[in-house]
């Protein structure tokens, strides 16, 4: 959907314009079906804005998370747990196409290779910027790190609020969903507890 692979996604300007046009036409119909006048001043450019917003919110399909990790692997004889916590997550539930958002906490214990730290939030984003369920997002991050680094273990915890449960449906404004996924050493109680204690001030 996005033409070029840009390393920083803060400012994506190069959208696939064919897709933008097609999406915009569809959003025009949607807005009309919702009973609005798509020609009034405030809405005139809205179909195109929404199209670009949706392209941005799903740009993860254009990224290869495994390649992102493999692009910054370093040989290092470090055997302690590495934790990157409080990584902001913005994703979109695949059932309602409404946002879910929160924090991811990721840890691994290296086995000869470490990865450039920034690559962990990058792969969180690469998987989050798709139509998702929180459980799959959690597993995909874990599996990707396991495959790229072959570490002694990986742990991923995500805490998120789902707008589909807050602003519609059951309307529980304070509900937070926690998902977790572990491999290797983190399947042992002691290691998992150490990880949980390192991120626990953030876990409810």
Ligand X SMILES: Nc1nc2c(ncn2[C@@H]2O[C@H](COP(=O)(O)OP(=O)(O)OP(=O)(O)O)[C@@H](O)[C@H]2O)c(=O)[nH]1
For 155-176, letters b (16+ CB in 10 Å) and e give bbbbbbbbbbbbeeeeeeeeee
162 is a catalytic site residue = yes
Q: 96: annotated binding-site residue?
A: yes
168 DSSP 8-state letter: S
175 DSSP 8-state letter: -
Nearer to ligand X, 116 or 169 (CB): 169
Identified catalytic residue from 88, 95, 147, 187: 95
What is the spatial distance between Cα 87 and Cα 180, in angstroms, rounded to a whole number? 14
CA angle at 49 for the pair 3 and 16, rounded to the nearest 5°:
15
Residues 117-176, interacting with ligand X (CB under 6 A): 133-135, 162, 164-165, 169-170
164 counts as binding Zn ion under rule CB under 5 A: yes
What is the spatial distance between Cα 149 and Cα 113, in angstroms, rounded to a whole number? 6
Identified catalytic residue from 55, 62, 93, 159: 93
79 counts as binding ligand X under rule CB under 6 A: no
* Contact positions vs ligand X (CB under 6 A): 93, 95, 133-135, 162, 164-165, 169-170
* Contact positions vs Zn ion (CB under 5 A): 93, 95-96, 164
Residues catalogued as catalytic: 93-96, 134, 162, 164
């Amino acid at each position: 959907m996005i033409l070029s692979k840009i390393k920083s996604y803060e400012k994506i300007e190069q959208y696939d314009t064919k897709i933008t046009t097609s999406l915009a036409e569809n959003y025009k119909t949607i807005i009309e079906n919702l009973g609005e006048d798509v020609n009034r001043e405030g809405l005139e450019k809205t179909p195109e804005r929404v199209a670009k917003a949706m392209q941005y919110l799903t740009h993860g399909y254009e990224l290869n998370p495994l390649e992102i990790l493999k692009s910054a692997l370093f040989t290092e004889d470090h055997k302690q747990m590495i934790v990157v916590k409080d990584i902001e997550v913005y994703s979109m539930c695949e059932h309602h196409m409404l946002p879910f958002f929160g924090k991811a906490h990721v840890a691994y214990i290296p086995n000869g290779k470490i990865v450039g730290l920034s690559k962990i939030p990058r792969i969180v984003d690469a998987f989050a910027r798709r139509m998702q369920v929180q459980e799959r997002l959690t597993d995909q991050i874990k599996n990707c790190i396991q495959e790229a680094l072959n570490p002694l273990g990986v742990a991923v915890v995500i805490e998120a609020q789902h707008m589909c449960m807050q602003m519609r449906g059951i309307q529980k404004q304070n509900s937070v969903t926690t998902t977790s996924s572990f491999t290797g050493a983190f399947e042992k109680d002691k290691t998992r507890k150490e990880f949980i204690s390192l991120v626990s001030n953030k876990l409810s």
